């Protein structure tokens, strides 16, 4: 890998870590509302599928080593057996799906293409992992797990819009910086 690629992967791993320092908003389900899914969406859009997935895999690896980088200062192997484990495990897959969808839609204008890609990868794919993990850890049924997670979708839709706004702004100033638009 080129040095530039390694720096980009590390930078987006650091971005999602920084987003974890924004205090999570506690929620009645026990699952906090966090800013980190925004980082997952941005990694996929800005780095493309493979580098985006690698940046999220690096982040998850560092968390597994014990770094308290998940929202609320959580880290270590214990996070992979909690109710949000599926989301953390899904970060690399969601970033990959977001980047892949953005490449597939690159003939569309930047805003709608990146918005659709962020919704697909950062919500649909990530929630498949998150809901499955929640169901497995808590023992709740599919319907309960889906209902509990559905309350987070409006906030994640806002993050998808923010991702599209950022991508559009970066395309105007630094078009080469958005890997999914080449």
> Which pLDDT tens digit goes with each residue over 98-120?
999 999 999 999 999 999 999 99
The Cα–Cα gap between 90 and 79 comes to 13
Q: How far apart are CA 158 and CA 140, in angstroms?
A: 28
**Rounded CA separation 37/22 (Å):** 12
Q: Tokens 């987006």 identify what position?
A: 12
> Is it the case that residue 32 has pLDDT exceeding 80?
no
56-75 residue pLDDT tens: 999 999 999 999 999 889 99
Mean pLDDT of the residues in the chain: 93
Provide the pLDDT for residue 30: 63
Q: Is the alpha carbon torsion for 20, 25, 30, 31 positive or negative?
A: negative
Query: 43-52, pLDDT tens digit by residue?
Result: 999 999 999 9
Using an 8 Å Cβ cutoff, are 43 and 12 in contact?
yes
Q: Which domains are assigned to the chain?
A: 3-181 (1.10.1760.20)
137 — alpha (psi -120 to 50), left (phi > 0) or beta? alpha
């Amino acid at each position: 890998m080129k040095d530039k690629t390694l720096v980009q992967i590390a930078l987006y791993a650091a971005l999602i870590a920084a987003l974890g320092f924004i205090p999570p908003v506690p929620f009645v389900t026990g699952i906090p509302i966090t800013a980190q899914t925004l980082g997952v969406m941005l990694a996929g859009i800005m780095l493309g599928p493979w580098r985006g997935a690698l940046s999220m895999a690096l982040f998850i690896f560092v968390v597994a080593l014990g770094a308290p980088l998940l929202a609320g200062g959580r880290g270590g192997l214990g996070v992979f057996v909690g109710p949000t484990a599926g989301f953390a495990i899904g970060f690399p897959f969601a970033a990959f799906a977001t980047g892949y969808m953005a490449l597939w839609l690159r003939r569309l204008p930047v805003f709608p293409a990146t918005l659709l890609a962020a919704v697909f990868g950062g919500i649909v794919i990530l929630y498949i992992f998150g809901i499955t993990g929640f169901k497995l850890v808590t023992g709740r049924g599919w319907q309960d797990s889906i209902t509990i997670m559905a309350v987070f979708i409006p906030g994640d839709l806002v993050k998808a819009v923010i991702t599209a706004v950022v991508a559009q702004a970066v395309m105007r100033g630094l078009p080469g910086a958005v890997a999914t638009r080449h």
